[in-house]
Structure formats: structure tokens, C-alpha cells
Structure 1
Amino acid sequence: MKEYGYIRVSSTDQNGDRQRRALNERGVSPQNIFTDKQSGKDFNRPNYIRLVKRLREGDLLYVMSIDRLGRNYGEIQEQWRILTKEKEVDICVMDMPLLDTRTAKDLIGTFIADMVLQLLSFVAENERVNIRKRQEQGIAAAKARGVRFGRPGKPVPGNFGEIVRKWEVKELDFGEVLRLCDMSDATFYRRLRELRRRDSAKKD
């Protein structure tokens, strides 16, 4: 029997130090700790997949909390079934003693563990949905205030209008225009449309 640990952090801005310390305290060997830095919306994570392939019958998997395993209600249930029923691995959710399959072997224990798992996995997914909703609301509010997202636009050279005029009368070829403006052709045409709209608005 081998002991393993799984760590998930939701972005590269977070680290798994707290989870790693908890696993170290349980005596899990560092080479048996697998870490993913990505969302918990599904289980398509490279190191989680590697971990599942490594697990054998009778092994023990530690995870800090159910939301570190994942945040998708249905997929948490399915992965729990695969690990405990198909691979016959024990799981210990460290911050929830009721979710320790080593102590839930009888019918009542299994029933309680299943109920707790359903509740916690539902809460984990609900939190994921709420986070996404708050992000969407925040983005919408920022856009309403005029905040622009994405990479900043390529600055237009101060003599852009003069460059365009020379190009239009064939004093400059298109390649020279792009070089002088330091733009791609798509950016140039977008800036050209903006220039013409401004010129048209001034005439009106």
C-alpha cells in the first residue's frame, strides 16, 4: 500500500504550500504528491491523470478538501466512484473526517460518507458558478464604466494622416506604409477606418 497526495491550485498566482504542509504532516513522500495549477471545473488535468494511472488497489489518496479535488458536482461523484469502486483506492479528505473511506466500510458509514460527499460537491460546484457569475457581473460593470479589456491597441504614429495621404496618391507602397506605422495590415486598415470615421464626423 502506498500513500499519495493531490494538490490543486486554481491559478499560477496561488501556491499549494498549505496543502503540501498538510500532506507532509501525514507522512506522504514528496515524489508521491501530484500538483495541478488550473481550474477545478473538470478533471482534464495532466498531473491528476498521471496520479490516477499510478494508483493501485489498497493505496491511499489524501486531498486537503473536496474543492481541491474539483468543483464540478457530477464529475466529483464520478471520480469518487472510479477511485473507490473501480480502482479500490481509499480516499481521505483531510478537512472532513467523515470523508475518510478507511473508517466508512460498513453500510451506515458508507451512507453517511456518500451524503456528505453529495452535499460538499454540490457546494463546491455552486461556488464555482457563483464565482463565474461575479466575474461576469464585474466585467459588465467595468465595461459600462468604459474600461477596455485585452491588449492595448497599437499606437498610431503622429503623422499617420500624412502617411495615409502619400499612400493614397501612390507616393508610398503598402509595404513601406506598414513599416513606417509599425503595424500589421489588419491593424492598419482598422486604424484607417477609424481615421475616416473621425474625418467624416468633423465634416458633419
Structure 2
Amino acid sequence: MIYGYARCSTNEDKQDIMRQTRELKAAGAEQIFLEYEHGDTAIKKQLASLLEQAKEGDTIITLEVSRLARSTKQLCEIIDTVKNKCLRLSIVGSINVDCTNGEIDPMTNAFIQMSGVFAELELRIIRERVRSGMANAKAKGVKIGRPQVTADNIPAVFFRHYPAYQNKKLNLSEFSRICNLSRTTIYKYISLLDNV
């Protein structure tokens, strides 16, 4: 079986995940696991599920090392699992790790670990640029963070369905789904109205 693994940081980035999916299918993926998590997130549920489901001799393909992990430690743990389960790991167009005999050759191991170091470095550079940009914007008087939510800027869709929620015709989950808002946001709006 050939499994594909695609990851992007948020589920709003549909174009990127669809691009990855297309390229993974073109590379031969029969089943693709989609993950919406940051690269350095400790637990990636879809990746864990994929590694658990894969059986000896199966192949896992992804487009870049940074899709698997942005931490060298996490990458080494993934490689250990690949080795222990006798799998193949292919980074499309660059690295092929064949552990079907339960071993990994030293050169391939070194190369993939170096790739992990560069993925981690790239993440740290991005974070430093963001911090610097935010400090610069703050120094110029730009307000950093999410805009303050007040009762005046609650969306109309919330008010359209709020009476049904108050009359217990909708539970919180239904209210959230109808408004296309998270439960946390719904709670925030309800709290704001209760304090008005």
C-alpha cells in the first residue's frame, strides 16, 4: 500500500492542501491522510494514525520533510517508527528511505536528519521575522492582536438565530453550525450580550 501524507497549518489553506493532494496522487499515493496542524505540534493525529495503520513493506510518501516535522527530534522518532515497522518513506523528488529490511543505511539517515535540521531552522527564522515585524508595527503605533469584539460588531447571522437558541430550539452545537462560527466564539458573543 502507498500512503500519502499532506499537512498544512490551518484548514483555511485549502489551495495548499489540494496542491499537495494532487502531487501525492501523481506520485502514486493510494490513500492520503490530511493534517491541519503546525509542523512543530507534538501530536499530529493523522500522522499517528497513518503510522499505526501502515504495515510491513508499505510506503509513505510526502512532498517535503517539513510536512512530516519541523523538529529534528520528531523527525528522528518518525524515522525510528518507519525502521521498526519495516516501511519505506519517500520525500517526493529528493529522499528515499527504505527500511523494509529493518535497517536504514547511515548516509540516508544522516541526509534525512540534516533535512530535519534545515526544516527546524526555517521555522525558527520565520518565527523571528514575525516577532521582529510585530515589534516594528507596535513601535509605529499599530495595534497588535485580534480586534476587540463588542456587542456592536457581532455578526447579523448570530442575532438571526439567537432567539431560537434562547428558546431552546437550538443547542449550542447547532447554533454554532448554523452561524458557521466556533463554539468558543458563540460563547464569547453570548457572554458579551449577558453583560450589556
- TM-score, structure 1 as length reference: 0.66
**1:184 and 2:183 equivalent?**
no
**1:136 and 2:116 equivalent?**
no
The SS at the match of 1:139 is helix
Q: 2:119 aligns with which of 114, 120, 124?
A: 124
Cα pair 2:57 2:100 within 8 Å, conserved: no
Q: Aligned partner of 2:113: which letter?
A: Q
Q: Match for residue 94 of structure 1?
A: 92
Task: List runs of 5+ in structure 2 lacking aligned partners.
Answer: 153-191
Q: 2:108 aligns with which of 113, 120, 130?
A: 113
Cα pair 1:43 1:70 within 8 Å, conserved: no
Instruction: Tell me how large the CA RMSD over aligned residues is.
Output: 2.7
Measured after TM superposition, the shift of residue 26 of structure 1 is 2.5
Q: Aligned partner of 1:93: which letter?
A: I
Task: List runs of 5+ in structure 1 lacking aligned partners.
Answer: 157-180, 186-204
Q: Match for residue 56 of structure 2?
A: 57
The SS at the match of 2:108 is helix
Query: For residues 60 and 149 of structure 2, what CA distance do their matches in structure 1 show?
Result: 48
Query: For residues 125 and 116 of structure 2, what CA distance do their matches in structure 1 show?
Result: 14
The SS at the match of 2:105 is helix
Cα pair 1:63 1:92 within 8 Å, conserved: yes
Query: For residues 140 and 183 of structure 1, what CA distance do their matches in structure 2 show?
Result: 35
Q: Match for residue 18 of structure 2?
A: 17
Structure 1 moving runs of 4+ over 6 Å: none
Query: For residues 11 and 55 of structure 2, what CA distance do their matches in structure 1 show?
Result: 30
| CA offsets 1:51-78 (integer angstroms, 9 cap, x no match) | 1121111111011111111111111112
Query: For residues 108 and 74 of structure 2, what CA distance do their matches in structure 1 show?
Result: 17
Cα pair 2:87 2:100 within 8 Å, conserved: no
Give the total of aligned pairs. Answer: 153
- TM-score, structure 2 as length reference: 0.69
Identity of aligned residues (%): 24
Q: Match for residue 6 of structure 1?
A: 5
Structure whose alpha-carbon radius of gyration is higher: 1
Q: Aligned partner of 2:21: which letter?
A: R
